[in-house]
A and B are shown apart, each in its own frame.
Chain A
Amino acid sequence: MSVLLQASGLCQQYTTGTTLFKHPTVVRAVDSIDLEIREGEIVGIVGESGSGKSTLGRMLLGIEPPYRGELTWRGAPMPAPGTPEWRRLRREMQLIFQDPLAALDRRMTIADQIGEPFEIHGLVPREAIRDRVSELMGKVGLRPDQAGRYPHELSGGQRQRVVIARALAMAPKFLVCDEPVSALDVSIQAQVVNLLYDLQLEEGLTMVFISHDLKVVRNLCDRVVVMYLGRIVEEGPADEIFANPRHPYTQALVSSVPSAGRGHAKRILLQGDPPNPASRPSGCAFHPRCHLADAACKARAPALIRDGHRLAACLKLRAAPNQDQIREIHA
């Protein structure tokens, strides 16, 4: 598989608290991310709120220029926002948000909204737009008689289908889904996840799936990136990451998911709160909450080390018990 999108040393920072009497605080939301997204794969990005998942997603799309770092699309540098080349690239990349009602225009019928990209890019003659719209609606499982409806007349799942149909209108190559199913009920969530999966198969889409729902990520994604406070702490194939997490944070994250009917079998309870990106702990950012941390972790930030097709950033990687040992401890 060829590399579609490559990020190297990607950083993003925001300045907050700029007032007359206070020094502004610089918040590093995303910190030196190296990531390769290959054609046709689904990459999941997981992490807690404030870990920089959404910021990374927006930077991968090129809608937010990085503070530092480089981004290449099919080997060529990402054009600057607003330029004609950048505008052309928009067709190939689309974004799906969490809240479909906020992403849709309440005063336009759904058929008009799905057809809008065709008008903007002027790729399809005006007469043919209607046919393309009904084709797209069929593809995402909306009935033809729903074309004249307004967003408020649809259910949450149907609205998300409209958003997906509109994202697919330009036949994109790359799709970033930012928490696309978090606002939906479980039975509907499964419908939308399956739809995304089928579309990926049929259209050969490359997808970045940002979510805090580990169960959905595991069942949909090929590769998973775990983020903590703006950095990647672990990366690898979805099956392996969840079956045998190596980083202590991933281990805690995986063990914190209660399974239906069993509750928590074995579990690592993390102390403390998710850290504040504005006051990043020294060394390994996870050390205040980590049960393996020692003085070295406080002083030195671990690098992301490759082992086969898996990467992890932890100084205590050898000491971190693997899943079998945890099972024994709790048995």
Chain B
Amino acid sequence: MSLISIKDLRVSFDGVQVLHGINLQVGKGESIGLVGESGCGKSVTWLAALGLLPQRAQFSGSVTLEGRELVNASRGELEQVRGGRIAMIFQDPSSSLNPVQRVGKQLDESLRLHRRLSGATARAEAIRLLDLVGIPSAKTRIDLYPHEFSGGQCQRIMIAMALAGEPDLLIADEPTTALDATIQAQILDLLATIRHETGMAMVFISHDLGAVSAVCDRAAVMYAGRVVEQNHIGELFDNPRHPYTVGLFEAIPELQGPRRRLQPINGTVPNPRHLPRGCAFSPRCAHASDFCRSAQPALLLQPDGGQVACFHPVRESALTPRRTFSPASAELAA
């Protein structure tokens, strides 16, 4: 049985629908990536699942954690889940930490709430957590304020706080976007190690496809409030089927191989107030037919185990030429 299962989740803000029926399952210990451009609903999906959306948001559908329904659950029930069973870390660590409270006290708070630890036990556990996430000399630095740590260290402290409740699922919302490249690599490494050691599941929300493939087993690609493709990392990157996924991959320049002109996806992401008829991607899609512009494709299971929502999926090997290492660049590297 899957750990958390989202069924037909729909969300609208002030009458504007932003999620159009999301179906997602995360298994125990599984790591799944959620990819898409800004405004596609990747963060809203999980905020809705945890009941963290503002009052004006209306939503329907079902989110179950090991069979327990979270939508419209009581406040007390949700508070047990949040931080305890499911923890979330955000993009900007410095704005998620309380600037006027010592780091130790903030960790202490989650340990008290979720594990009922206090006093010396809580302090020892807080130091252990800071050690675990790689804060050097945690014992002496536990009483410092967030501004006395660097951005990468603040993100490590956020991860330590998320781990304080020993969650079954960690939702990481763009955890490395605000960090420098070398620090990003450190945090990705840390997340992978912790997941390996604790066996917790992870949802990694990011627009960085490289980061997603570094830490996830499976990934879902979202566009305009819908999941358009889902598959195992290897399959998805080697053999993307949805034209949007292909476009997204082509748009990212490579660090290896021949230098080339970038291939953008023409047009822009549609405004959720005025979504095109039919498939939301059809105005930007080279394969779109009249049928695409009138009917909405459903997310269908594929023979390889993946799921694709497209009437004209890209056939295999459409992407292969640029992934092969050409002789010219091999010479260069030598």
Contacts and interface: CB of A to CB of B under 8 A. Distances in A.
B214 A48 contact: no
For the residues of A in contact with B, the DSSP-based class is: helix
Contact of A256 (B181, B247, B253, B260): B181
B180 A49 contact: yes
Contacts of A258: 185, 188, 208, 210-211, 213-214
A158 B237 CA distance: 29
A321 to B, nearest CB: 14
Contact of A187 (B186, B189, B214, B265): B265
A194 B254 CA distance: 15
B53 interface: no
Contacts of A13: none
Nearest to A214: B255
Interface stretch (B42-50, B84-92, B138-146, B326-334): B326-334
Nearest to B319: A261
A273 B210 contact: no
Given A185-B269, A186-B251, A260-B210, A214 B181 contact: yes
B37 interface: yes
Contacts of A244: 332-333
A260 B209 contact: yes
A214 B185 CA distance: 14
B182, B255, B256, B332, most chain A CB atoms within 10 A: B182
A186 B207 contact: yes
B199 interface: no
Nearest to B263: A190
Contact of B150 (A239, A263, A273): A273
Interface stretch (A103-111, A215-223, A293-301): A215-223
A275 to B, nearest CB: 10
B152 interface: yes
B210 A263 contact: yes
Interface string A169-191: 00000000000000001111111
Interface residues of B, number: 51
A189 B253 CA distance: 10
Nearest to B153: A273
Contacts of A273: 150, 152-153, 183
Contacts of A48: 180-183
Given A243-B329, A256-B181, A189 B251 contact: yes
A209 interface: no
Interface stretch (A85-93, A264-272, A304-312): A264-272
Contact of B251 (A155, A190, A218, A242): A190
A97 B321 CA distance: 35
Interface in B150-166: 150, 152-153
A193 interface: yes
Contacts of A215: 252-255
B133 interface: no
B281 to A, nearest CB: 11
Interface string B227-257: 0000001101110000000011101111110
A194 B186 contact: no
A119 interface: no
A269 B264 contact: no
A253 interface: yes
Task: Give the most central of B153, B260, B261, B264: most A CB within 10 Å.
Answer: B264
A261 B238 contact: yes
Interface in A116-169: 155, 157-158
A217 B327 CA distance: 22
B255 A254 contact: yes
Contacts of A155: 268-269
B259 interface: yes
Nearest to B284: A187
Contact of A219 (B233, B247, B260): B260
Contact of B213 (A49, A189, A252, A261): A261
B182 A259 contact: no
Contacts of B268: 155, 157-158, 188
Contact of A259 (B189, B207, B255): B255
A261 B246 CA distance: 12
Nearest to A261: B237
B255 A270 contact: no
Nearest to B40: A185
Contacts of B213: 258-263
A244 B331 CA distance: 11
Contacts of A189: 251, 262, 264
A260 B254 CA distance: 8
Given A157-B268, A243-B329, A259 B254 contact: yes
A219 B182 contact: no
Interface string B290-327: 00000000000000000000000000000000010000
21 contacts: A157-B268, A158-B268, A186-B207, A186-B209, A186-B251, A189-B264, A191-B266, A215-B254, A218-B255, A219-B253, A219-B262, A240-B332, A253-B181, A256-B185, A258-B208, A258-B213, A259-B255, A261-B237, A273-B152, A274-B152, A324-B333
Interface of B: 37-38, 150, 152-153, 180-186, 188-189, 207-211, 213-215, 233-234, 236-238, 247-249, 251-256, 259-266, 268-269, 323, 329, 332-334
